[in-house]
Amino acid sequence: MSISPTARDFVPTTGFGATDLAPVDYGPVSADSAEQIDQLLVNGFPTLSFPAELEKRFQHDTAADRLRVIIITAALVVILFNGYLLTDLLMIPDVFAEAVALRTGLFTPVCLIGLYVLIKTPHPFFREVLVLLAAVLATCIVLYLPSISKDPLAGPYLVGLAMVVMFSHSVAQMRFWMAIALDIFIAIGTVVALQFIPPAPIEVMIPAALVMISTVTFTLFGCYSLERDERQNWLLRIRETNLLAALKTANERLDKISRSDLLTQVANRRHFDEFLTQVWERAELDGSEVSLIMIDVDHFKAYNDNYGHPAGDECLRQVAGTLKRRLRRPGDLVARFGGEEFIAVLTGTTLPIALQAADRIRVAIERLRVPHVGSPTSSFVTVSVGVASMRPIDRGASQKTLLTKADEALYRAKNSGRNRVWPDPDAGGAA
């Protein structure tokens, strides 16, 4: 096994790191299962079984493929088992009528009925039991026919059991433990059948037994490898799903972090610029209006000096939180513009509507009632707000002018006493 990092290396670590960056989360399976998967892949699973929860999931995930294999092999087995009548005709011609009755009259319909039942009620264990029962029925027929035959070739005919073993173990990919059960049944059945079969020369029967024993050993080995490989690949797939989920979460988080302001958790300046450009381009196409709301915390320096920077940070967080709660339409975006300045974009919004939204924001901040003793404006934290709107298709409109106008409006709001909303002075008095 390689010593590359495993899925477990990405299980969240607890501790200080968990501030605003909760660690990468597990997607599809629990961390417990992920650890089990790593262990199974490293240490192997010699008994071909997983811990209960994983086993259930493995059976569920592989059910469709397994059913397909069984349907194909069932069709094949019906053809091959009837085709074997030719060998019956050549080696034990005296019981050919019985052979036809059993192979065509009994095995074929039973097999088809079994298949129908299987498709109707797919349950993993039940499914494998049905496969085993089909193989047991085939074995019984192959043992019964030479037992009632008087032909001297009836003894060597038993080697035909090798076909049953080979087919069920390798083509039908019987589950290993079911295969073991079948082989035990065949061994006991053969010993019983030999009591009835016309005696064949020991010189023939010993090599025949050797052929049977090597067939069973080799195909059991193959059967084991097949199931182990299937299980191993499934584990790898699951681990991959986990990795993919972890990668997706990490990428999303990375995306989010690179777009947001770490202190206040609203968008950062860079993301704001990108967003505004997008909004602007869309509005250019449909001729709608874009509004900007610029918000500044009043007397923030005094607040900082009075209460200290940690409190100042907390104040900014509260203001940002209020902005985010107030502006939550899909086309709105709140961003931190600089120190104590915030900005919001409202798409498809006219100036009067934006002004209403701005005033609701101003009131909401005032109602937070965050004490601010150093403010000459109010005894609580307040904001001044400037609002500007523009239709990108209008002549002379640009993102830059819109920003300038919003800034000018904010300047007016500050100059006329703070804790108020002011519209773009060029827009023609909607104050």
Partner 1 sequence: MSAAQAPIEFDKRRMNQVQDLLNLGFRWMKFPAGLEHQFLSQDPQQRLRHFIISGLISLMVYDGFLIADYLLIPDVFAIAATLRLLIFTPISAIALLLLWLNRDRPLAHHPVMLDATVLVSGLFAAATLAYALSITRSPLSDFYHAGFAVVVMYGNLVQRLRFWSALGFSLAVLTIQIVGVVVLPNFNPRLVWPICSLTAATVAFSLCANYVMERDKRRRYLLSERERSLVKDLSEVNLKLQQLSRVDVLTALFNRRHFQEYLQDLWQRAKHGGTEVVIIMMDVDHFKPYNDHHGHPAGDECLRQVASVMQNSLRQPGDMVARYGGEEFIAVLPNTSLALAVQAAERLRKAVQDMAMPHETSPTLPVVTVSLGVACCNAATPGATPDGLISKADRALYDAKHQGRNKVCSL
Residues 78-117 that bind partner 1 (CB under 8 A): 80, 86-87, 90-91
Q: Considering the rule CB under 8 A, would residue 26 count as an interface residue with partner 1? A: no
SS3 283: helix
Distance CA 315, CA 396 (A): 38
**Contacting residue, 27, 51, 160, 331, with partner 1 by CB under 8 A:** 160
Angle, vertex CA 364, rays to CA 358 and CA 367, nearest 5: 145
Told to check if 270 binds partner 1 by CB under 8 A, we report no
CB of 35 or CB of 359, closer to partner 1: 35
3-state secondary structure of 68: helix
Residue whose CB is less far from partner 1, 163 or 431 = 163
Q: Is 48 in the site for partner 1 (CB under 8 A)?
A: no
Per-residue x/- marks for partner 1, 330-359, CB under 8 A? --------xx--------------------
CB closer to partner 1 out of 307 and 425: 307
- Structure tokens given for 265: 């958790």
Which residues, numbered 224-263, are part of the site for partner 1 (CB under 8 A)?
A: 225-226, 229-230, 232-233, 236-237, 239-240, 243-244, 246-247, 250-251, 253-254, 257-258, 262
Nearer to partner 1, 220 or 357 (CB): 220
Whole-angstrom distance between the N-terminal and C-terminal Cα of the chain?
73
Q: Please say which residue, 73 or 349, places its beta carbon nearer to partner 1.
A: 73
Which of 52, 64, 309, 396 binds partner 1 (CB under 8 A)? It is 309
Give yes or no for residue 170 binding partner 1 (CB under 8 A).
yes
- Contact in structure between 389 and 358 (CB atoms under 8 Å): no
Q: Which of 187, 302, 234 is nearest to 55 (CA)?
A: 234
Q: Which of residues 206-225 bind partner 1 (CB under 8 A)?
A: 206-208, 210-211, 214-215, 218-219, 221-222, 225
Rg, Å, the chain Cα set: 39
- CA 146 to CA 372: how far, in whole Å? 103
Dig out the tokens for 272 from the structure. Answer: 């704001």
Residue that the structure tokens 């992920």 belong to: 34
